[in-house]
Each structure stands twice: as structure tokens, then as C-alpha cells.
Amino acid sequence: MITVEWNDSNRTTMNADNADLQPLAAGPVLIGCVDAVNGTAAQEVPEFVITRAELVELAKYWEETFLSRAFFVFKTRQIGSTDLRVCPFAERRVARIIELLGDKAVEAVQEVEDEFARSVGVVVSKKFFKYLGPKHLHQNKLRRGHLIPESGVITNVARLRRPC
């Protein structure tokens, strides 16, 4: 019988945003070890209190991370175990920050999405956001009294609950 040896390189961490994103054991192989999502780097640090300004920057970081990974999947039509974990984790982080900060975080996320759309072009970004689908974790937060553009159209039209 082969068993997985647990050590610092494959130790998993549970936190508020990584439920169901833990690695899977396939015999002696672990699939889906992503340090920032479920490894030692995902450990929360309760001794350090983060500021509102730092949370805005984290929202930007996780939105950029989501868009980058999801766009790779969109362009290549390939997905890996890292994508299956990073995308939902990034979504959960951004959604929680929006819940805490409201409009300030929504504005920051919208800036990231606008910059992304400019970088890939209007036609490609429209196809990409359509590919993501009509549901995403931010949408409910946006519609519950947080910032919604005057047009009523949210350019961040989609997220996926399907793989990245």
C-alpha cells in the first residue's frame, strides 16, 4: 500500500474561503496543492490587523488573479487543478472584501476589470465576459445597494461556478 507523506511542501490549511478547494489524493500523488489557496501560505494571521486601504489592494490583487487565470482557460480551452482552486478562492476573497467595504471595493474591482478589458480589447473582453456566464459571486453584492453604474449594466457581467 502506498501512502502520502505529509510534510511542509504539501501540508494543507483550512480558512474561511477554501472550503472544497483542498488537494485530492490520487494514490501517492496529491493533485491541487496551491500554497496560496490551501497550503501553508493560506494560514490566517490573527495577530496582524489589516487596514481598509490594504483590503482594497487585496481586492484588486485577487480580481487580477481571477481574470488572469480565467482568461488563460478561455483562450487555451485548457484547465488545470490550480485553476479549479485559484478561481473560486479569488472570487470568495473579492466577494468578502466587497461585503466589508462596499462601494470602495466595488470601484477598485471595476477599475481592474476596465483595465483588463482595455488590455485585451473590446471585442475579446465582451466574448470573455459572455463566456464566463451570467452568474458570479460579486453580482448579488453589487445589486444590494452597492455601486451600480448609471447605465444599470455591470461590465463585470459574469463569473463562473463551473471550473475557472
pLDDT in tens, 86-101: 988 998 899 899 999 9
Decide if pLDDT at 150 tops 50: no
Instruction: Please indicate, yes or no, if residue 159 is contained in any of the structural domains.
Output: no
pLDDT at 156: 35
Q: Looking at the structure, do residues 45 and 88 belong to the same domain, yes or no? A: no
pTM: 0.73
CA dist 22 and 107 (Å) reads 31
Residues 19, 83 within the same domain: no
Do residues 21 and 99 share a domain? no
Verify that 101 and 123 share a domain, yes or no.
yes
Of the chain, the percentage scoring pLDDT greater than 70 comes to: 74
Structure confidence at residue 135 as a pLDDT band (50, 70, 90): low
The reported pLDDT for the residue numbered 58 is: 96
Alpha helices, DSSP H, located in 17-162:
35-38, 52-76, 81-101, 103-120, 122-132, 137-143
Range of the domain at 130: 52-143
In a shared domain, residues 60 and 131: yes
* 155, part of any domain: no
Residues 61 and 101 in one domain: yes
Residues 123 and 56 occupy one common structural domain: yes
Question: What are the two backbone dihedrals, phi and then psi, of residue 148, each rounded to the nearest 5 degrees?
Answer: -130, 130
Same domain assignment for residues 66 and 35: no
Task: Report which of 113, 114, 111, 108 is spatially closest to residue 136, judged by C-alpha positions.
Answer: 113
Is 71 found in the same domain as 18? no
Q: Return the pLDDT at 8.
A: 53
* Mean pLDDT along residues 42-48: 85
Looking at every residue in the chain, the average pLDDT score rounds to 76
Residue 12: which residues within 8 A CB-CB, separation 6 or more? Answer: 22, 23, 33, 38, 39
Q: Quick one: 70 and 123 in the same domain?
A: yes
Q: Are 40 and 102 found together in one domain? A: no
For residues 104 and 64, state if they share a domain: yes
Number of domains in the chain: 2
Residue 158 lies in a domain: no
Q: What is the mean pLDDT of residues 10-32?
A: 78
